[in-house]
């Protein structure tokens, strides 16, 4: 089976860079995949993609060495299994509140006897290799998002879930949970301390911790703080930032 670069990098104690796909188009996915990210996530929760967009977007990513990841919209085993069968090598599950929900997500990502994933890797076997079914349990990465009050209250139990590879911090919803306005790259001391607490709990349990960032400066700080993966930017954010920059430069030079 094709090795999962995310796991390889984590074994080498390296931080993984993750890009984000909010736009549901194969060409956008291909362009982002060619920019050098270690992994790239198709967002089914808040992005414009639906499940029928996932296959072509994963095919576009697969032209590169970038690892294909999918954030599902909900902790739904059917959606998780479908994304995996289409070739996702990582699954991000939002709004995980307790160990039972974390275990449900893990089970959907693992074939029996350790999980409940149904056998039918229609595209995944072509992307991953002929021995995909035999080795997928060891290569697929499953990440549970910690972003709610219940998730924080049950943090240690979630991190201790057998088979869970990482917890993923959703900063905007975490701000809600802390009584703060939602924002990316939140410098509020309470938010920063809570993120560090999540990272410490994950590492204590022997799993990884991921920080969802909105820019390079904050992401660099997260790397220095010991996070194992940083989501750096999205296709949509880059498009907006680039357009604004060029317009601002034009206006400044023609004023």
Task: Catalogue the active-site residues.
Answer: 46
Contact yes or no for 133/119 (Cβ under 8 A): yes
């Amino acid at each position: 089976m094709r090795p999962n670069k995310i796991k390889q990098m984590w074994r080498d104690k390296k931080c993984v860079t993750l890009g984000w796909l909010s736009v549901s188009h194969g060409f956008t996915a291909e362009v982002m995949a060619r920019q050098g990210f270690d992994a790239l996530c198709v967002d089914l929760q808040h992005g414009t993609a639906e499940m029928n967009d996932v296959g072509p977007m994963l095919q576009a990513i697969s032209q590169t060495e970038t690892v294909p990841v999918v954030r599902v919209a909900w902790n739904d085993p059917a959606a998780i299994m479908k994304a995996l069968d289409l070739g996702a090598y990582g699954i991000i599950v939002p709004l995980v509140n307790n160990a039972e929900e974390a275990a449900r997500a893990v089970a959907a990502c693992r074939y029996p006897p350790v999980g409940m994933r149904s056998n039918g890797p229609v595209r995944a076997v072509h992307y991953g290799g002929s021995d995909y079914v035999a080795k997928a349990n060891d290569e697929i990465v499953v990440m549970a998002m910690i972003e709610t009050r219940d998730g924080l209250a049950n943090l240690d139990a979630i991190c201790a879930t057998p088979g869970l590879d990482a917890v993923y911090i959703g900063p905007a919803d975490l701000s809600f949970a802390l009584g703060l306005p939602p924002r990316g790259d939140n410098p509020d001391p309470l938010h920063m301390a809570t993120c560090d607490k999540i990272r410490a709990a994950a590492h204590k349990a022997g799993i990884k911790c991921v920080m969802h960032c909105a820019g390079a400066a904050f992401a660099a700080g997260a790397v220095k703080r010991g996070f194992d993966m940083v989501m750096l930017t999205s296709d949509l954010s880059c498009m907006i930032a680039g357009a604004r920059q060029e317009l601002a430069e034009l206006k400044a030079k023609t004023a």
